[in-house]
Chain A
Amino acid sequence: MSLFDWFDNRRKPGSPNRESREREIADGLWTKCPACGVMIYTKDLRANAKVCPECNHHIPVYTQERIQQLIDLDTWLPINQTLRPTDPLGFRDRKPYRDRLREIQEKTGLADAVQTGVGEMEGLAAALGIMDFRFMGGSMGSVVGEKLTRLIEHATQNQLPVIIICASGGARMQEGMLSLMQMAKISGALEQHRQSHLLYIPVLTHPTTGGVTASFAMLGDIILAEPKCTIGFAGKRVIEQTLREKLPDGFQSAEYLLSHGFVDAIVSRPQLKATLAQLIRLHSPQPTAP
């Protein structure tokens, strides 16, 4: 087999040794890109921050991988880990909220949809919040609101920049108006952070919608986004229903927001840490000349 053939095989899922390949996918040795179908050696994929080297598709990553990708080794210090959601409204739809919470907590090992902490990026201290879309669609209830507010307050007190990786369907309906009010609470904390001349950078990832877009996602001093992620206020289906028309191509994509002036830059995930560190350095107070 020539080297070219080997590359060909590596890229095409329909290659002759398909069965063994499928076994290797099952073993996790190889990963098929869900966008272009190319086969990627899983180790390489992980080294590339789970971005397809072929088509730049960003495969979703979650809390632990984000921390590994963004924070210098052994510098991560989680805060407020003991906050847990309750069921303040006694809410039940087809299933009680309590049961939903317990199931998703068992499945993900997370207490709620955001993890917060402080750590270093290229040696620069920062406060970091990471939303996790697996936990009820990254929805924002009391715990998400409280943890982000405490993170921002901690950053204000300790003169730290804040970075929030956004991924959310919006406010969590199961906590009713308590969820809506978290939008205001977090925005109030950001106002105090801003008054202290500290830097806040939200990173918008797939998807960032609803009440998160209408609050902290859009309040960055600088707003970054991952390529092709969906960013919007209203859901696409809602807009289609109210307007009874097809939406334009690329509507509510990161690229669409960039071209309309609502995002500063689109940054591929492998470059995210370096970009954030660069921005923090550029906004750090300079030592004055003696």
Chain B
Amino acid sequence: MNTPVNRKPILLDFEKPLAELEERISQIQELADENDVDVSEQIHQLEARAVQLRQEIFHSLSPSQRIQVARHPRRPSTMDYIQAISDEWLELHGDRRGFDDPALIGGVARLNGRPVVMLGHQKGRDTKDNVARNFGMASPGGYRKAMRLMEHAHQFRMPILTFIDTPGAWAGVDAEKFGQGEAIAYNLRAMFSLDVPIIATVIGEGGSGGALGIGVGDRLLMFEHSVYTVASPEACASILWKDAGKASQAAEALKITAMDLKKLEILDEILPEPVGGAHADPVKTATILKEGLLRNLSDLDPLTPQELRRHRYEKFRRIGVFVESDV
């Protein structure tokens, strides 16, 4: 896991008041120590205020603030979670078509004693890693690797756990040349044919078709501060508002938060995050994820392959809002 203790925290702009308060607490403590005065009562009060302030801030995040949390450079990645929640794990490589996309990783693992296939978009842990991993934007080869691993799971009767964390599928000349549209489309259809339980979890950013390409499952879970979008608010703002500066308005209008998607009946379950976001306590967050996955897996276990496939289709079949009138 990330170990935030020995690294300087990366502050988001809306965390500034909190940082200032914490700064003041340590200043007072220093002054008191120098002058040998007992301020423990005041410190205690200020610390309580800091806890309260953090809760207030994180309970009323706007959609665009949530995007900042979802994109936080220290937010745990797919690899972090896989390593944290599995008893053992072996990464597998390649799409068997000529590519091994580092932006989408996966392999076989053991979760609470049980073999599973885990896969997901992989963002980098630092700038250099991020460049190598194309910021979690998968190429057609990534989606084909994901499909190959999911077919492996189907073949060996292992549940599939996918982790979604991408700004979107890679938009480049090569991506088009090698069939980005076809690669995603193929996954969307084929995931309806798999005989094993599939749980998809949005751990950070769910960017459009690039997210959905590994997102067709029996259950969709989302972390509290994750977002899932039809188009990035930046792109949406420049197309509909003709002004990329209107991204926060677009983020509001697009209904991208876990709470919004629960209301629209797209999402099955919201996984709570520690106060301050997943990156504030990655170990605790991983525990929450593991419990959520195990609970949902045990719900799905009694279903036969036919029932799984039928319920999966019915789950998506219901999504959509329209009116039907007799004219």
Chain A interface residues toward B at CB < 8 A: 81-86, 88-89, 91-94, 142-143, 145-146, 149, 171, 173-185, 187-192, 194-195, 210-211, 213-219, 231-235, 238-239, 242-243, 247-248, 251-252, 260-262
Contact = CB atoms under 8 A, between A and B. Distances in A.
B184 interface: yes
Contacts of A81: 327
Contact of A239 (B172, B188, B322): B172
Contacts of B239: 173
Interface in B195-254: 208-209, 212-213, 215-216, 228-231, 235-236, 239-242, 250, 253-254
B41 interface: no
Contact of A91 (B186, B229, B253, B256): B253
A89 B230 CA distance: 13
A63 B244 CA distance: 34
B132 interface: no
Contact of A191 (B189, B212, B250, B264): B189
Given A184-B212, A247-B173, A177 B241 contact: no
B230 A142 contact: no
Interface in B36-77: none
Specify which of B320, B323, B325 lies most central, judged by the most chain A CB atoms within 10 Å of its CB. Answer: B320
10 contacts: A83-B323, A85-B323, A142-B322, A176-B229, A178-B264, A182-B320, A187-B185, A188-B316, A210-B209, A234-B175
Contacts of A171: 208-209, 230-231
Contact of B266 (A177, A189, A243): A177
Contacts of B236: 173
B144 to A, nearest CB: 13
Interface of B: 169, 171-173, 175-182, 184-186, 188-190, 192-193, 208-209, 212-213, 215-216, 228-231, 235-236, 239-242, 250, 253-256, 261, 264, 266, 312-313, 316-317, 319-327
Contact of A251 (B173, B192, B235, B317): B173
Given A171-B230, A262-B182, A149 B209 contact: no
A93 B321 contact: no
A173 B327 contact: no
Contacts of B177: 260
A260 B264 CA distance: 39
Given A232-B176, A239-B172, 20 more contacts: A82-B327, A89-B253, A171-B231, A177-B228, A177-B230, A177-B255, A179-B230, A185-B319, A187-B189, A189-B317, A191-B192, A213-B181, A214-B188, A217-B181, A232-B181, A233-B169, A239-B171, A242-B172, A252-B176, A260-B178
B255 A176 contact: yes
B181 A214 contact: yes
B216 A233 contact: no
A263 to B, nearest CB: 10
A215 B176 contact: no
B171 A185 contact: no
Contacts, number: 191
A139 B217 CA distance: 25
B174 to A, nearest CB: 10
B321 A86 contact: yes
B176 A188 contact: no
A47 B250 CA distance: 46
A225 to B, nearest CB: 13
B241 A184 contact: no
B184 A214 contact: yes
A219 B321 contact: no
Contact of B320 (A146, A214, A234, A248): A146
Contacts of B184: 214-215, 233
Nearest to B314: A188
The 3 closest A-B pairs by CB, nearest first: A234-B171, A213-B181, A142-B320
Contacts of A181: 212, 266, 316, 319-320
Nearest to A91: B253
Contact of A84 (B209, B242, B325): B325
Contacts of B322: 83-86, 142-143, 146
Contacts of A178: 264, 266, 319-321
B224 to A, nearest CB: 17
Contacts of B178: 260
Nearest to A153: B317
Contacts of A238: 171, 235
A84 B185 contact: no
B319 A89 contact: no
Contacts of B230: 171, 173, 175-177, 179-180
A127 to B, nearest CB: 18
Specify which of B175, B209, B253 lies most central, judged by the most chain A CB atoms within 10 Å of its CB. Answer: B209
